[in-house]
Structure 1
Amino acid sequence: MSSARSSAREHTNDTDATAPQAADLVVLGGTVLTLDGASSRAEALAARDGRITAIGDDRSIAGLIGDATTVVHLDGRAVIPGFVESHNHPTFFGMALAAPVDAGSPPNEHIGEIVERVRQAVRDRGPGEWIRGYRYDDTLLSENRHPTRHDLDPVSPDNPVILTHVTGHFCVVNSVALQAIGITAQTPDPPGGAIARDERGEPSGLLIETAAFLANSAMPSQGPEQLAEALLLADEEYLAHGVTSVHDTGIGLIAGQGELDAYRLAAGRMRTRVHGYLFHTLLPGLDDGAPEPPDRSASTDRFQMTGVKIVADGSIQGRTGCLAEGYTCDRREHGMMLLEPDDLARRIAALDAAGWQVAVHGNGDAAIEAIIDGYAKLGAPQGTGRRHRIEHCQTVREDQLDRMVEHDILASFFIKHVYYWGDRHRDVFLGPKRARRISPLASARSRGIHFGLHSDTPVTPVPPLEGIWCAVARRTSGDNVLGPEQAIDVEAALRGYTIDAAYLAGEEHIKGSLEVGKVADLAVLSEDPTAVDTNRIRSLCVDGTVVGGTLVRRRDGLSVTTGGAR
């Protein structure tokens, strides 16, 4: 990255030919990483009416301070574009934050600890009231298995319980919940899913893929008001970590139509900008091949519906990601497709014809092949403006990356797989050769593929700085390096969470880099991530977050004044 400081570049609405209007916001006294095409740097910037109006040295930008200007004194800190999270689930995230049972690991090391949390939640609720819990991960529990109804029943004889897996692809329910859902030993597996059964053929309580979706749809729905409050909880967490834009990839997946209603109720209170991708089962007409076209009349600068999300397969750690070769732990097991390839291709074609951007979840390379085949059938992409995507794209092969280039297919990589599940992918699910290639960022970048990086929260924690560290260091939770040849440099990783992520939603012209005329969405970092040791990147702090030129979040110690006072 160039270390040269840029001179002031100004765009102002002058009241006369010589006196530029004062800025609403000035940030000065540090390093401004613009992430523009030239990788230029500066010392300061100014914004007015929500847009960046000038970037330059401290002296020139200080001249734009007026009596009412908010001045952020960096004192050596760094400013970057606000992070763009290219694959998240805000409603699901907020529901997990508000749930009575935290089933995650940490804090739970054993199934018994989760059961105790369920027991405590039952004590606080009346008979018949549903108990929800989130984020359990069988691969992190000492028993190395999913909980079952037999674990839950003794502490919840009168309350239906549902615990959702950290991936969202499974859930575990107790016997009362099975009865409420209508699942018995005679219930057949739904298409694209499975009902796990014990040695007697009775449901064990574990529901897989579409069977888990069935359980969620059978629960008493949370009202739009509750879901709106969940969105606001998620909003606070995003801002705390410098995330100013989020791609909600699967609106309706957890709570159906109520999620859209929740966004309408939360309008005006959410500060994070959201691009929505509607879960495909909620789009009228798609099953019949004639989906409704996008209606963007209600779009605002905080929320707009961008595309449609399809789930093609499951997760690698759940052994439902669809692989061309079998799982290392069981070569006979290849995972599953949630949609048959022909049906997937039909849906992609219908959505493309109706004018939707399409985002398809694909973890296993067999599923990725089916997704690429579906996109390839659309014909040559040149000049069409398509920006169709593959979500997670975890085990994409080199030949498949070549095909993605040929058909101009974008990717959003779930880079945090490397840290959170890399060791198990190597030792249990994929073996060393395939595991070292998960999220092959260097291979994608060498081909010029546009990609974003993401955390898939609530599957893994939000902080983009952790994701950037994962992309650069490729260290696992066991402190092993996994596929160092697929690591990228810090600037490339930053771009995966800013300008390149914005590209995935067709917004690179208004956000993702700090340039005059773009929205003034900023993250203030405790230090310049390009100037610290790689292992320190994940521990850097987000000291301030700016959305549309307004400082919406700051940590103690960040000096902010009004006008010229200090």
Structure 2
Amino acid sequence: MSSARTARQAATTVFVARRILTMNPAQPRATHVAVRDGRILAVGNAEDVQQWGDCAIDETLRDKVLMPGLVEGHCHLMEGAMWDAAYVGYYDRRGPDGTLWRGLTSMQSVLDRLREAERRMDDDGAPLLAWGFDPILFGTQRLTVRELDSVSATRPIAVLHASVHLMNVNSAMLRLAGIDEDTDIDGIVLDETGQPTGELQEFAAMFPVYQVIGGKLSIAASEKPDAIWNFGRVAQLAGVTTATDLVNDLSPLGNETLRTVTGDPDYPVRIVPALAPQRSPSAGPEALRAAMSANTDKLRFGPVKFIVDGSIQGFTARVKWPGYFGGQPNGLWLIAPEQLAAVLAPFHEAGLQLHIHTNGDEATEVTLDALEKLLAATPRPDHRHTLQHCQMADAAQLRRIRALGLCVNFFSNHIYYWGDAHYTQTMGPDRANRMDAAGSALRLGIPFAFHSDAPITQLSPLFTAWCAVRRRTASGRLLGAEECVPVDDALRAITLGAAYTLKMDDVVGSIEVGKFADFAVLDEDPSECAPERLKDVRVWGTVLGGRVFQAPA
């Protein structure tokens, strides 16, 4: 855990900083912030805050820049659970303990790391598990049973893709999971002879493997205290003070575990779990209301998450004509279009907020049709239903989003990580240039945020903001200059904008009187550094409810 200490005990503590970026347009800059009972009492200069009487002055942050604690509006506690498995991703990744795992840029290096992990295992019967694999970055090469059997033909192996929408397994795992050429499940890829290749697309196809490996590699991690603590460490290192678990089973054990861990004063993050009815069909609005009745300052149930399609880089997202650039078949529906409105209706009618995963523009179109129908039947002026990812939305769809009063949380990291692949393999130049159209959303006045979807990409909101500002791919290609957003708008999107999409802008997202005293502590002012350096601004630590958490040196 990062070192934590409480500011000097007094009724009121005043933090002094070189500069405070408040995200409050009525008072954008300050140098002092007074904190009492974990909340912001006053913001301004020394004279302003001392009007409240006796206070303890905390000079620890005098040479730092404060901004609101960063808000990650789409990520998963799974980020904290994945580190029990081998990381085989293409890009460098830093773990909860600060260890930097180098990215693997060839199929051979992926297999070598798997072999190394297999050699370290003591239990001959245990499965070898790995995560972060990204086949689209290897061109036409695909990972199959043959390659994984070269690592081990007897130990079951499962390799989860970076998108978490696909998985590769070896022959031993296929046998254990009962998957063969006669298994009638969408998403089991077959070769030219009709045999499974070991690639499993989307959750139905992966489900038999999850039955074998249990809760490991699962997106649900709220029942695991170590995973929640690991997640907290990763988030705090990135300056995050409020984060979602945007797929949650709402299990009694998971709820209690979250209450226990977040209730520890040393836990550095506020957690917002979202009920995922597709994983827990029996957990309806009543179960969510019951969980919400026990909300605390650091644990806030409320959102509901649905997933309509898959991932673009996995070719499982649903896209409109002309389809995928390389001619691959269209993706998979995770909710049948004709059923979507009925599936969403009980939660909308109960006054709950919907967060809906739509990657492809066909999935977005179907979702807009369903929401338009629901809002006509049951109007809700401030519903703030949010489209998550919404990567391929076109101009007409964005206008509909604005007319329906929806929010969008863009997956801007895609521009860097997969932009080159989208340009050459999935969408082609025209559609790749309009992906994650935050510039258009800004011009239309659509409320928006940016996210990492951790563990899909590294949890680092300043990097995510940089992706939206620069729109540069890993090779340096500029994708859609007209969709770039100014730095100030990007910073708002990872603070107050994200808080708005979570219906939490009354308590987090800006440094204003009455809100939680949550701050990201930075070594420099991100609003004044060169835009290309935004991702490199160092996070010194965080403040949560007035308590200082310093990141390890």
Task: Tell me if 1:215 matches 2:215.
Answer: no
Find 2:431's aligned residue among 434, 447, 463. 434
Judge conservation of contact 1:294–1:356 (CA < 8 Å) in 2: no
Task: Tell me if 1:350 matches 2:336.
Answer: no
Q: Percent identity?
A: 34
Matches of 1:486 and 1:550, distance apart in 2: 38
Task: Please name the residue that 2:198 is paired with.
Answer: 205
Task: Please name the residue that 1:127 is paired with.
Answer: 124
* Structure 1 SS opposite 2:346: helix
Once the two structures are TM-superposed, the CA of residue 126 in structure 1 deviates from its matched residue by: 1.4
Task: Please name the residue that 2:96 is paired with.
Answer: none
Matches within 5 A, 1:7-156: 22=10, 24-38=12-26, 40-58=28-46, 60-61=48-49, 70-75=58-63, 77-90=64-77, 92-99=78-85, 101-106=86-91, 107-123=103-119, 124-141=121-138, 144-156=140-152
Query: How has the CA–CA distance of structure 1 residues 39 and 132 changed in structure 2, closer, same or farther, with 3 Å as cutoff?
Result: farther
Deviates more, 1:50-59 or 1:291-300: 291-300
* Structure 2 SS opposite 1:88: coil
Matches within 5 A, 1:454-473: 454-473=451-470
CA displacement, residues 62-103 of structure 1 (integer Å, 9 cap, x when unaligned): 78797865433332x32100000010012x11122232x111
Task: Please name the residue that 2:94 is paired with.
Answer: none
Once the two structures are TM-superposed, the CA of residue 224 in structure 1 deviates from its matched residue by: 7.5
Structure 1: 5+ residue runs without aligned partners? 1-20, 557-566
Q: What amino acid is aligned across from residue 398 of structure 2 in structure 1? A: L
Judge conservation of contact 1:345–1:374 (CA < 8 Å) in 2: yes
* Structure 2 SS opposite 1:229: helix
Query: How has the CA–CA distance of structure 1 residues 225 and 486 changed in structure 2, closer, same or farther, with 3 Å as cutoff?
Result: closer
Matches of 1:317 and 1:529, distance apart in 2: 31
Higher-Rg structure is: 1
Deviates more, 1:465-474 or 1:113-122: 113-122
Judge conservation of contact 2:222–2:228 (CA < 8 Å) in 1: no
Once the two structures are TM-superposed, the CA of residue 472 in structure 1 deviates from its matched residue by: 1.1
Query: How has the CA–CA distance of structure 1 residues 226 and 360 changed in structure 2, closer, same or farther, with 3 Å as cutoff?
Result: closer
Once the two structures are TM-superposed, the CA of residue 144 in structure 1 deviates from its matched residue by: 4.0
TM-score by length of 2: 0.89
Once the two structures are TM-superposed, the CA of residue 360 in structure 1 deviates from its matched residue by: 1.1
Q: What amino acid is aligned across from residue 440 of structure 1 in structure 2? A: A
Matches of 2:407 and 2:316, distance apart in 1: 23
Task: Please name the residue that 2:3 is paired with.
Answer: none
Query: How has the CA–CA distance of structure 1 residues 144 and 78 changed in structure 2, closer, same or farther, with 3 Å as cutoff?
Result: farther
Structure 2: 5+ residue runs without aligned partners? 1-8, 92-102
Q: What amino acid is aligned across from residue 52 of structure 1 in structure 2? A: I
Matches within 5 A, 1:210-249: 210=203, 211-221=205-215, 227-249=224-246
Judge conservation of contact 1:271–1:302 (CA < 8 Å) in 2: no
* Structure 1 SS opposite 2:168: strand
Judge conservation of contact 1:88–1:246 (CA < 8 Å) in 2: yes
CA displacement, residues 107-130 of structure 1 (integer Å, 9 cap, x when unaligned): 212222222222233232312212
Task: Please name the residue that 1:368 is paired with.
Answer: 364
Deviates more, 1:340-349 or 1:36-45: 36-45
Matches of 2:426 and 2:296, distance apart in 1: 43
Find 2:483's aligned residue among 486, 492, 517. 486
Once the two structures are TM-superposed, the CA of residue 504 in structure 1 deviates from its matched residue by: 1.0
Matches of 2:68 and 2:285, distance apart in 1: 39
Question: What is the aligned residue count?
Answer: 525
Q: What amino acid is aligned across from residue 263 of structure 2 in structure 1? A: G
TM-score by length of 1: 0.87
Q: What amino acid is aligned across from residue 278 of structure 2 in structure 1? A: T
CA displacement, residues 374-409 of structure 1 (integer Å, 9 cap, x when unaligned): 111112476543121111010111111111112111
Matches of 1:82 and 1:498, distance apart in 2: 7
Task: Tell me if 1:279 matches 2:273.
Answer: no
Query: How has the CA–CA distance of structure 1 residues 37 and 359 changed in structure 2, closer, same or farther, with 3 Å as cutoff?
Result: same
Judge conservation of contact 2:259–2:299 (CA < 8 Å) in 1: no
Matches of 1:362 and 1:260, distance apart in 2: 27
Q: What amino acid is aligned across from residue 271 of structure 1 in structure 2? A: P
Task: Tell me if 1:385 matches 2:382.
Answer: yes
Matches of 1:242 and 1:65, distance apart in 2: 31
Query: How has the CA–CA distance of structure 1 residues 28 and 382 changed in structure 2, closer, same or farther, with 3 Å as cutoff?
Result: farther
* Structure 2 SS opposite 1:337: coil
Judge conservation of contact 2:412–2:450 (CA < 8 Å) in 1: yes
Task: Please name the residue that 1:17 is paired with.
Answer: none
RMSD of aligned alpha carbons: 2.5
Once the two structures are TM-superposed, the CA of residue 300 in structure 1 deviates from its matched residue by: 1.2
Find 2:334's aligned residue among 331, 338, 343. 338
Once the two structures are TM-superposed, the CA of residue 156 in structure 1 deviates from its matched residue by: 2.1
Matches of 1:352 and 1:284, distance apart in 2: 16
